[in-house]
Amino acid sequence: MQKRKLGNSNLEVSALGLGCMGMSSAYGPPADKQEMIALIRAAVERGVTFFDTAEAYGPFANEELVGEALAPLRDQVVIATKFGFDIDPGTGSRTGGLNSRPEHVKAVAEASLKRLRTDAIDLFYQHRVDPDVPIEETAGAVRELIQAGKVKHFGMSEAAAQTIRRAHVVQPVTAVQSEYSLWTRDPEAEVLPTCEELGIGFVPFSPLGAGFLTGKIDTNTTFHSTDFRNISPRFTPEARQANQALVDLLGQVAAEKQATPAQISLAWLLAQRPWVVPIPGTTKWSRLEENLGAADIELTPEDLRAIENAAAKILIQGARLPEAVLKLTGR
């Protein structure tokens, strides 16, 4: 597996990471814990060194899973986790929305360190920007955690360019994580240029469009009652039908490259910038193998132009997230 550096930092990770959220939440019931531990360790054997979790996934259960899986391999991997929500430590229920007050950030770090079975968090993201707390105060809290040796790098998730700039003055931002794929290209307008200017790495989550870009979902696909795609505007039957044109395009390129639509989607992201590191998630061994195969696919400038020209003619239908969730992003 090739390695990439996240921006100008010294944080080197595998070109493709593993998003672990779906093992515990968002896509239906949690997967079998022992199977997921085996899957995470198999990813390490195949060269993956970058693993993404958060206290909010579960809540707490995903950090515990990742911590247990990677404890024997800790010196080989980079673990990213996130703070920023008010979650009751006893019940695991969200009690008051967002919370990036400095004292809360420090308390979350201590709890995450225990669940992750480690003495330092490699990359600590603010999960969502808290409008009630100046970003300078939050970044200052992470700076203090870095000075104390409890955190190594600061990250931000779904933040707007100006907020990233303000935070970066207080504590250099190593990575920004936002949704980015061929069907969600919002970061291209301001966030990616800002990352390039400031030397910040970019980590696309949901690089396969919550599974849609794999070509395995159509208008007849049904999801478990607890799967967030049931309430996603982009996954209504009408939107799926309209958005199938993008999957068809990926299928055409994949046929030429003897690859799969998922692999072309990931290869496209890898080709955007040398400091972009997608984190596709999966609970299936076969999908892990498929996703990692994307790192070996080279898209030529001609390939990329052809994809760009064809994609420009496709109007993606439906917002990427429900309106209430979208309000928490891009601030």
Q: Kindly state the DSSP code that residue 31 receives in the 8-state scheme.
A: P
Angle between helices 33-45 and 61-70 (to 10 degrees): 50
34, with CB counted inside 10 A (0-12, 13-18, 19+), is exposed
In 3-state terms the chain splits into helix, strand, coil percentages (rounded to 5) of 45, 15, 35
Sequence-ordered list of residues with C-beta below 8 angstroms from that of 102, at least 6 positions apart, any chain:
133, 137, 138, 140, 141, 144
Going by C-beta distance under 8 Å and a sequence separation of 6 or more, which residues neighbour residue 164? 156, 173, 176, 191, 194, 195, 198, 200
Residue 22, by phi and psi: left (phi above 0), alpha (psi -120 to 50) or beta? alpha
Positions marked catalytic: 57
Please tell me the distance from the alpha carbon of residue 287 to that of residue 281, in angstroms, as a whole number.
Answer: 9
Residues facing 153 on adjacent strands? 123
Place of tokens 């070996």: 296
What tokens were used for 303? 């390939």
